[in-house]
Amino acid sequence: MQKVIYLDKSRKYRKLFYTLTVVLSSFVIGVYFRSSYLLYIGFALIILSIFYECLFSFSVLEAIVLPKENEKSFKVIIDKQESDFWRIRKHIIINGWIYLYIFQEGSNKTLKMWLHKSNFKDENDIRLLAKKIILENL
C-alpha cells in the first residue's frame, strides 16, 4: 500500500522573509548611494524583483507518494498533477528538518527543498519520510 504524505502549501513565511529582505536592501541602497545614479538602478532592480515574485509564482509541491516495498522511485504531486519516477539524489536529515534534492528520471527535472515538520499536515509524516529515506535508501 502506498502512503501519501500531504504538505502544507503555505508560502507566507517565505514571502514575508523575502519582503523584509527587499525592504532592508532598499534602505541600504538608499543610505549608501543617496547622491548617485546607482540609487535609481538599485530601486529599479528592487521593484523588478518584487514584480517578478508577484507575477511568477513557482509550482507548489502538494504531496509525496511513497513507493511500495522494493521500489526506488516515488511519485510527487505538483500543482494537482501527479508525476512519477522521482529519485532522491541527495538528502540531509537533521532533527525536525529534511533537505531533499530530487530529480525525475527521463525529463531531468529537479527540485531542491528544505522540509520542516511544520510543512507536513500530519507532524508524524516527517518521521515516516525520514525512515523511508534512511532504511530503504531511496
The answer, as to whether pTM is greater than 0.75, is: no
Q: Domain residues of the chain, as ranges?
A: 4-8+60-136, 12-55
**Is the distance from CB of 5 to CB of 128 less than 8 angstroms?**
yes
Nearest to 123 by CA among 111, 114, 115, 112: 115
**Mean pLDDT along residues 30-59:** 75
pLDDT at 91: 92
pLDDT on residue 138: 61
- Reply yes or no on whether the pLDDT at 31 is more than 80: no
Nearest to 122 by CA among 16, 12, 3: 3
Determine which helix (DSSP H) or strand (DSSP E) holds 133, and give its type and residue range. helix 125-136
Q: Taking each helix axis from N to C terminus, what angle separates 38-55 and 12-32, rounded to the nearest 10 degrees?
A: 170
Q: What is the pLDDT of residues 59-114, one digit of tens each?
A: 678 899 988 877 888 899 988 888 889 899 999 999 888 999 999 988 888 888 88
Q: Residues 117, 129: contact at Cβ < 8 Å?
A: no
Quote the pLDDT of residue 57. Answer: 61
Which three cell numbers, joined as nine digits, stand for 22? 527587499
pLDDT digits 0-9 by tens, 109-123: 888 888 888 888 888
pLDDT at position 99 is 92
> How many angstroms separate the CA atoms of 133 and 87, rounded?
11
* Percent over 90 (pLDDT), the chain: 9
